[in-house]
Structure 1
Amino acid sequence: MKRLANWRLFSLFAIVALVLSGCGKPYLSTLTPAGEVADIQYDLMGLSTIIMVGVIIVVMLVFVIVFFRFRRKDDRIPKQVEGSHKLEIIWTVIPILLLLVLAVPTVSATFKLADVKTMDDKNSKAVVVNVRSHLYWWDFEYPKQKIVTSQELVVPTDEKVYFSLKSMDVKHSFWIPAVGGKLDTNTDNINKFWLEFDAEKSNEAGNLFYGKCAELCGPSHALMDFKVKAMSKDDFNAWVKDMQSVKAPEKAQTALAQQGQDIFNKSCIGCHAVTPENKMPETARIAPNLSNFGERSRVAGILDHNKEEVKNWIRNPETYKPGNTMTGKYPQMTEDQLNALAEYLMGLKVQD
């Protein structure tokens, strides 16, 4: 009885886990597609699920019918039947037809999603983003606009956005669950693909989506997140204009922030950039660009965006992201220095 009770408890947990696996927020769930790519992938998942469930139902029906109709009722040996050309043809043709039903739309979608010719057209006005993955953060370069951001990707809605993916250290994988993906970022080659962000679905999600690394890359893999801000084309153009208008680092507005800027210039500037204009070689991007740090929604991609969390991160980043490349790169700071540095960083904005 005790063993039976344990099995019942295990079954209950299995059912609960199955139900909860379908839960998710609009900005983080593949089951609430928010773009053309996500819609295509969702339809393919639905088609394959219908086929698989259909096969299971047919097999179970055949099993039940055979079990009850042909079970042994006496000791007589039943008539021995060997081979049936009709049955063999049926159970060979049906799987082939099912595979064709699944293969044709899958291959068609694969070629459609791999079409990035527009991206390589120099005369194209399409938005192109060079994604660079690092341990454990992301940066996003807009080569046509000469802008570099980190940890927050900004994109226009209702048009194709093209991505060029590369890793600066180990293999990662770029994934925005609600919009589409995922695709590996490698160190030795560049992968390319496109996504489209639906305006209506973006509004429902608060114009904010979450992106993640989908390739096990180290102890902080699960914390390698980034945020995606989806906005109208006009708002995107305004954001680009604001970012391009900043040609020099933001000046500190208060005496405390000025102290923080002095500390930043002595301890942080060697790794972090504070200008959105892409003037650095790719190999020099060893830490996130902080030009619009004050406008972000997260600190280090995972902490609430406030001065206290900024200080907590600087004080001991290893506590929050084990194995990160920032740990041990600067001397320990006093509480006054942390207050000043947090004041300066929170004031780094390009949009009011």
Structure 2
Amino acid sequence: MKRLTKWRLVSLFAIMTLILSGCGEPFLSALRPAGEVAQEQYELMLLSTTIMVSVILVVTIIFIYVVIRFRRKKGEENKIPKQIEGSHKLEVIWTVIPILLLLVLAFPTVALTFKQADVSPMDKLNEDGTRDALVVNVRANLYWWEFEYPDHGVMTGQELVVPTDEKVYFNLISSDIKHSFWIPAAGGKLDTNVENVNQFYLIFDDDKANEAGNLFYGKCAELCGPSHALMDFKVKAVSRDKFDKWIADMEGAGEPEPETELAQAGEEIFNQSCIGCHAVTPQDPKPAEARLGPNLATFGERSRIAGILEHNEEELRDWLKDPETHKPGNLMTGKYPELKDNELDALVEYLMGLKVEK
């Protein structure tokens, strides 16, 4: 009965593993690449996995053969087999083969590492001081992300917008502790540190972006506190024409103008309680040290609230009431007075109306 119970548990866990392996949305995994960088890294993973599995299979086959071929037979318990000390042929074989396998893995690994580490176009300036490469400054914070487009003078929070089918270069830095910038479908993670800037590039495939609904998932991949698992962001990958239009809208955006009396009342509350940490225009002149909260210029167009909640008025109201419940350890908790229901309604109306795209 005990053996039967154990086998039932093993079967149950096996079935659960198969079921869970099919969960989730498309392009949430590094095993489903959606760009050149991710595809190259995926192929390298396949190569290394193939080599490792092949070695395991060969060793297993040899092990089984030895166990069967040289097992002790009945009636020969006291017989001592012929002792053979060393074999130069075998020693050469099991020394040369691992070296060859390491070389097969090392050459493409080193070549790919140097290729993907080339960020020299970031430093190439034209005669007018502009550059052809698209550069995004990424700043990680507890527990949110800021994205700045230095050549265009605009920034946004929690949602990164990039063009497809071209290299997008990133400067990565942290404003507090170590985090890690990771878009699984686009490429491997890279740490964001306080003391230095890390650089790399990614490419987002247009066909895969369309298949994913032009929205990819990003997150922090370095344990950074109680809400590490909730430090998410979204990536909108669009065609170059749509990206240029978005940049133009962001560059031309001015101060928001509330359209309703309720939104106007919400603007007053915002200016009294929130403006010290949040900006409502894409052009935020404050230095990085003074940008304590995400830029809210495009808040009404986002797909998520705080990176994790559904984008609707009810979820926003819950977030404003008690952000600590949704993101423990966040720096917004306790930074503004408790709001009455009518004040929450006004603030929600104002925030939901913050839009840039025309």
Is TM-score (shorter-chain normalized) higher than 0.5?
yes
Specify the alignment match of 1:240 in structure 2. 247
What residue number does 1:219 align with? 226
Per the alignment, residue 84 of structure 1 pairs with 87
Q: CA deviation at 1:120?
A: 1.6
Deviations 1:167-219 (A, max 9, x none): 00010000000011200000111000000000001000000001000000000
**TM-score of the two chains, using structure 2 as the length reference:** 0.95
Question: Which residue does the alignment assign to 1:284?
Answer: 290
Aligned-partner Cα distance in 1 for 2:54–2:18: 20
Aligned pairs for 1:69-80 (under 5 A) are 69-73=69-73, 74-75=76-77, 76-80=79-83
The SS at the match of 1:153 is: strand
* Matching residue of 1:254: 260
SS at match of 1:107: helix
Deviation at 1:231, TM superposition (A): 0.3
Residues in 1 aligned to 2:18 and 2:64: alpha-carbon distance in whole angstroms: 26
Partner of 2:109: 106
Preserved CA contact (<8 Å) 2:27 2:33: no
Are residues 1:161 and 2:164 paired? no
Q: Which amino acid aligns with 2:36?
A: E
Alignment partner of 2:139: what SS? strand
* TM-score, scaled to structure 1: 0.97
Q: How do 1:22-171 and structure 2 match up within 5 A?
A: 24-73=24-73, 74-75=76-77, 76-123=79-126, 124-171=131-178
178, 197, 201: which is aligned to 2:208? Answer: 201
Q: Note the C-alpha offset of 1:17.
A: 2.6
**Alpha-carbon deviation of 1:16?**
3.5
For residues 112 and 225 of structure 1, what CA distance do their matches in structure 2 show? 28
Q: 1:328 to 1:273 in 2, by over 3 A?
A: same
Pair 1:333 & 2:339 matched: yes
1:21 offset after TM fit, Å? Answer: 4.1
Cα contact 1:26–1:178 (8 A) shared by 2:
no
Residue identity opposite 2:184 in structure 1:
P
1:78 deviation in Å? 1.0
Distance 2:138 2:325 in 1: 27
- The Cα of 1:3 is off from its aligned counterpart by 5.1
RMSD: 1.4
Of stretches 164-173 and 122-131 in structure 1, the one that deviates more from structure 2 is 122-131
Separation in 2, partners of 1:42, 1:129: 24
Give the AA of the match of 2:311.
Answer: H
**AA matched with 1:166:** I
In the superposition, relative to structure 1, how do residues 351 and 265 fare at CA in structure 2: closer, same or farther (>3 Å)? Answer: same
Structure 1 residues 28 and 54, CA gap change in structure 2 (3 angstroms): same
* Inter-CA distance 43–288: structure 2 relative to 1 (3 Å threshold): same
Paired amino acid for 1:93: V
- Counterpart CA distance in 1 for 2:8 and 2:51 is 30
Gaps of 5+ in 2: none
In 1, distance between residues paired with 2:349 and 2:247? 25
Among all aligned residue pairs of Structure 1 and Structure 2, give the percentage whose two residues are the same amino acid.
67
Distance in 2 between residues matched to 1:3 and 1:267, nearest whole Å: 64
Aligned to 2:329: 323
SS at match of 1:161: strand
Q: Structure 2: how far apart are the matches of 1:279 and 1:315? A: 29
The answer on 1:309 being equivalent to 2:312 is no
The SS at the match of 1:163 is: strand
Using the TM superposition, name which of 24-33 and 324-333 deviates more.
24-33
Q: Which amino acid aligns with 1:154?
A: V
**Deviation by residue 1:279-306 (Cα, 9 ceiling, x = unmatched):** 1211111100001100000000011111
CA distance in 1, matches of 2:6, 2:212: 41
Letter in 1 for 2:48: S
The range that moved more, 11-20 or 68-77, is: 11-20
Contact 1:249 1:291 in 2 (8 A): no
1:46-102: CA deviation from partner (whole Å, max 9, x where unpaired) = 001111110111011101111111111223211100000000000011111111111
Pair 12,82 (structure 1): closer, same or farther in 2 beyond 3 Å: farther
What letter corresponds to residue 39 of structure 1 in structure 2?
Q
Q: Which amino acid aligns with 1:232?
A: S
